Structure 1
Amino acid sequence: MIPSQSFDNISFFQPPAFLMIGIPGLEAIHGWISIPFSSMYTVALAGNCLILLAVRRTPSLHQPMYYFLSMLALTDVGLTLATMPTTLAVLWFDRRLIGFNACLVQMFFLHSFSVVESSVLLAMSFDRFVAISNPLHYASVLTNTVIIRIGLAIVARATLSLFPVPFLLKRLNFCPNKTILSHSFCFHPDVMRRACADITINILYGLWVVVSTAGIDSLLIVLSYTFILCTVLGLASPRERSRALNTCVSHILAVLVFFIPVVGVSMIHRFGRHLPPVVHALVAYVYLVVPPVLNPIIYSVKSKPIREVMLRVLRRRCQS
């Protein structure tokens, strides 16, 4: 537990550490719960690293679509590594303390990778739009230079959007008796509600970040696929229509896997405060753990080149 101390005559307090509780109400079976969590983290890291290795070692995959897929895989690795240490520490070893500054750092990277993932999915939808609506100019529009600039813009957008968040939290006066977090990681809505101060600015800024990133990205993705659908319906051959739509299936699934939990976690933190704490925890875990696990599976199943290269890499690893 956090060491007790006298708080008399203290007008400003920041806790030396927060106490993470893992999954509320299920502390007695954390050991058993750690098994599926460990499996999911292993699948997420192995699957996304295999995609990165496959794209890097296969010249035929050195195309814009697979470069964006590599960005998505790298983002999923970062998102997994942002939550894995503290989650497994709580579930395996019952190590629940996290320092205040360490908590803010984890929170920054966690939400930054989420913004990056949203932006990469938008870039991937733009890639599919160009490939289907203007295939003859695809290579000239999405050059390596353009892709690098898109990648840098995505990182800059996430960094600038989330950079003020830790400083907005550090200015708050926290409650000495409210240092228990609802998850095994530092989540912005959870951390800011530990404060004994007016958090209106934090709420408004958090809402602005969500709307200006995931909100705008989701609308633009829908717009992109509306244009794609119109283009596909204008194709004369049913076979061409089917082939064009098939190239988008894996990306559509990845978009749904990411944005449905994003909407769920946003809604439950704003309108579901009456729900049991275990519901909040499980929705947050779905939002952060499930997309990195499912994305490699989706792309290895729906993309034949990726599937073949991943199987070839696995065979070589097993033989060596």
Structure 2
Amino acid sequence: MRILVIAPSWLGDLVMSQSLYKAIKKANPDATIDLYALKWMFPIIKRMDEVNNVIENPFAHGSFDFLKRKNEGMKLRGKYDKAIILPNSWKSALVPFFAGVKERCGFIGESRYFLLNDYRNNKKDFPLMVERYSALAFSKDSVKTAQDLPDILYPSLKTQEPSCSLLEKLNLSLSRPLLALGCGANYGPSKLWPPEYFAEVADKWIEKGGAVLGIGSKNDIPTVNKIKERIDVRHLSYFYDIAGKTNLVEALDLTAKAAAAVCNDSGLMHLVAAVGVPQVAIFGSTSTGYTPPLSDRAVCLESDEPCHPCFERTCKFKTYACLKKITPKLVIEQLAKLTGI
């Protein structure tokens, strides 16, 4: 069985999709799984044992380009027995359609009935995103609801020891227990726990003999700077600011060395879960009923505001109460329970 998977375009979704690949390989160990994915995702995909090959998806987010999608599909003709389309968009199903893949499977989105010939239209029966992904490893007759799914196999990304040259370049010591701060979220402000709250947690962790890793992409540099500005000046030598200074797999390998993490609902939260690091995950406008970290070592703190979850990128009341009422004290208590630190 040769399977082409059209990968999601968000990091967290990509990590969660590994549960699907695990389910496929468990049912059919000889299956070949190839991912059609954005180029920046390649390093993470290569840390998934279940994936055989990666094909570059050349389409930027929001790009349509019907003719190019047709040409892309034609290049893949005759190569696959089945396609699984994870994004919900109409355009994401075009390449497998033009590739002539006989079985094209996915959940209905944007009325793409004729592009899929094995479609599911019952998303409500699979509340969690990982349940929807995992369900596509099975026939719709055998798995009709989430209750029919076997135990979901959590993502587990391979990691490597950070090189001495990387640690030297970052001026980073592993002599103290590290707390990784996943303080970013590309989704928007409604996912961002306040920097002063992160700073309070960082101070307490350093007081107990630890060190703190301010991690993220270039987009997260301003947030990490705000945290650094707010921590006790005596603790600065134990605050390692590496935001924007690593590539994705370097960040993954460094995160795997952490004793614990505190993360917003973000791609990094899912990376932390996939390397088995204990974490406190903070949910503002979003919900653990949809995309929780897939780990037995994660504790989720979620708002009880009446407007929660709104899934909005910004707070319509401009208060961000769903985030602010999750206090540093609550997070510090949960970290202590998770780690004994």
Q: TM-score, normalised by structure 2?
A: 0.22
User: Is the helix fraction higher in 1 or 2?
Assistant: 1
**TM-score, normalised relative to structure 1:** 0.23
